[in-house]
Structure 1
């Protein structure tokens, strides 16, 4: 991506670089960044055509703003229903069909304007459209801003689990406008916060300390400085890992702290909105620390501190997942489908302490099943 010289109106923006050599890109973070989207796009593409993939909810809230931001471009809107069920073969086919009908080619830009569902679906569509088109992320939820929009993981779901059909496909730009979060329901903000605190629990204990000392509450209240700082730290943490391990062959698996439990909970709950991804991740991290303590890897008071932090901020913990924990055998079956698993073994991200997470590639199924049975009763 070419350098963009900041203007006076961009002083409050922060830029985090994802260093992947010639495929590297910037994550631009700030208030009002959407209004500068057009100029940013001109720095990365010569095409004047943009396909914007969004959902009905985001279009109703911000359709006018995105149209104004792209007023110098020929814009094709692809508006999908909201909801996780769009991450499907049917949803993918609908996006691709619209692109072909509109006559797009791979030099044109395909832009995701929405949360994680839209980002994952659009990114996967871009990866397979004529073997790869220019892809840009403009995430509108906190979870997407700090996690799913960064790093190039794109996917759809199928009957066997979440994100099992996909590709690694990096965007050319991620533009984060924190003003877009003002219309987000509190439940969605909390879902995003789960992915923020995750970075502290993986390997940035000082970040967790800051969140625990009060910044976490400020983030949840959308205080501008705390919000921008937390998003910036989160994106930098993920960018560092992605630069080391783009395709999850090693350390990138750490970013899945709590996710093996979370994906099993989500599949059990179904994808109808009963359980948001971030809610499942919050409870999944509590479970990962609780299970680590059960195995003697992590001090019990440390696991309790993680649980207390989440609970204090009214974030979901394992105890809140009771309706989805009644069938240990089914949960274990779901966990066996996880993408990180190798050689028939279940891979879990466990912890020895706050900021001391590690990859366990041969988690004991017997211990795991015993734990799932205990919490089910």
Structure 2
């Protein structure tokens, strides 16, 4: 089993990675079991695939386990959905000693993490990501959140898990689109932090998309997890370096909000956002054309949906309401070269619109 530490002093925690790890979870969590209530948070499809078996195996190992079914899709991340869930937890007899298990993708992790952070002013939780996107990104670092009509994750808190349990074998049940969408975030790590992993992904993208090489996939997941863990350790609350993880997200999140979260998946939106940020990086005189061409080439290999027609001014308005706006300035992550990113706040609106018009 690969173990990666997220070193945050007294709140440090491990990221465990191994094929078939879900089946070993009762043994893995046994030292943490003090006869408290354990609650699995998940969604219907994941419960059918993994949740019911996990609950039974934990019960057989002496855990007191309950199950909370979250609404499907982004509806799980609405404030209106949470009130009933908090009442449900009270009825189950949960208290400050309870431990929550977030079994699912980014939506489940965000929602369950937010519930853990706010129930009884904070209880322990463990991330068990079932999607590639959650494995490499959202399950690590403690960001939790729910959505508002104005945009994604506008209400939330940073609440670190006690552990992250990654079983790449779970990806075999994912639709192809979920894998290809997540690859946008995987590419992001190489683009901003690690030219070597960028080149490795580029050379093996077809195998990664088809899950044809489990050893390589586990290596890439582990490398992305380590990169994220190191950034979080250096800047937990996103005051400095952690902000570079938002490469592609400034425009990407706005596209996602504009089109609806079902029309454009998160990773797909980020891929388009990275293309736009790459164009801005060239215009800013930071990035060489040949580096942008490599970025464009690898993103071009992803089966992205064609964007519906849109008005860039509408996207710009959404961006101005984003969390990344500070002092009314839109902050962008741009590339100086592949593997090296910088944060700027002086990109002209006309340049932003031009970059979007080229998508």
TM-score, normalisation: structure 1: 0.91
Q: 2 CA distance for matches of 1:252 and 1:358?
A: 11
Q: Which residue of 1 aligns with 2:177?
A: 187
> Judging changes above 3 Å, is the alpha-carbon distance between structure 1 residues 45 and 253 closer, same or farther for their aligned structure 2 residues?
farther
Q: 2 CA distance for matches of 1:103 and 1:363?
A: 52
Q: 2 CA distance for matches of 1:79 and 1:103?
A: 17
State the shift of 1:45 in Å.
Answer: 4.5
Q: Which residue of 2 aligns with 1:6?
A: none
Tell me, yes or no, if the aligned pair for 1:194 and 1:281 is still in contact at 8 Å: yes
Verify: 1:375 aligned to 2:336, yes or no.
Answer: no
Tell me, yes or no, if the aligned pair for 2:36 and 2:97 is still in contact at 8 Å: no
Verify: 1:259 aligned to 2:243, yes or no.
Answer: no
Tell me, yes or no, if the aligned pair for 1:137 and 1:171 is still in contact at 8 Å: yes
Aligned pairs, number: 356
Q: Which residue of 2 aligns with 1:42?
A: 30
Q: 1 CA distance for matches of 2:303 and 2:250?
A: 18
Q: Which residue of 2 aligns with 1:279?
A: 268
Q: 2 CA distance for matches of 1:172 and 1:315?
A: 36
Verify: 1:268 aligned to 2:258, yes or no.
Answer: yes
State the shift of 1:192 in Å.
Answer: 1.7
Q: 2 CA distance for matches of 1:360 and 1:305?
A: 22
Give the alignment partner of residue 332 of structure 2, picking from 348, 357, 360: 348
Give the alignment partner of residue 91 of structure 2, picking from 85, 97, 101: 101
State the shift of 1:206 in Å.
Answer: 0.9
Q: Which residue of 2 aligns with 1:197?
A: 187
Give the alignment partner of residue 60 of structure 1, picking from 18, 43, 48: 48
Q: 2 CA distance for matches of 1:323 and 1:201?
A: 26
Tell me, yes or no, if the aligned pair for 1:27 and 1:176 is still in contact at 8 Å: yes
State the shift of 1:103 in Å.
Answer: 1.2
Q: 2 CA distance for matches of 1:279 and 1:99?
A: 35
Q: 2 CA distance for matches of 1:295 and 1:322?
A: 25
Pairs within 5 Å for 1:39-188: 39-71=27-59, 72-188=62-178
Q: 1 CA distance for matches of 2:130 and 2:57?
A: 15
Verify: 1:248 aligned to 2:238, yes or no.
Answer: yes
Q: 1 CA distance for matches of 2:124 and 2:80?
A: 22
Q: Which residue of 2 aligns with 1:288?
A: 277
State the shift of 1:294 in Å.
Answer: 2.7
Q: 1 CA distance for matches of 2:332 and 2:239?
A: 14
Q: 1 CA distance for matches of 2:105 and 2:67?
A: 16
Q: Which residue of 2 aligns with 1:23?
A: 11
Verify: 1:331 aligned to 2:321, yes or no.
Answer: no
Give the alignment partner of residue 203 of structure 2, picking from 213, 231, 235: 213
Q: Which residue of 2 aligns with 1:359?
A: 343
Per-residue CA deviations over 1:38-81 (Å, capped at 9, x if unaligned) read 22222234244211110011012113321233122111111123
Task: Give the SS at the match of 2:171.
Answer: helix
Q: 2 CA distance for matches of 1:173 and 1:202?
A: 25
Tell me, yes or no, if the aligned pair for 1:114 and 1:139 is still in contact at 8 Å: yes
TM-score, normalisation: structure 2: 0.95
Q: 2 CA distance for matches of 1:366 and 1:359?
A: 19
Q: Which residue of 1 aligns with 2:227?
A: 237
Task: Give the SS at the match of 2:308.
Answer: helix
Tell me, yes or no, if the aligned pair for 2:33 and 2:63 is still in contact at 8 Å: no
Q: 2 CA distance for matches of 1:303 and 1:45?
A: 50
Tell me, yes or no, if the aligned pair for 1:283 and 1:321 is still in contact at 8 Å: no
State the shift of 1:321 in Å.
Answer: 4.8
State the shift of 1:305 in Å.
Answer: 1.4
Q: Which residue of 2 aligns with 1:307?
A: 296
Structure 1 alignment gaps of length 5 or more: 1-12
Tell me, yes or no, if the aligned pair for 1:258 and 1:281 is still in contact at 8 Å: yes
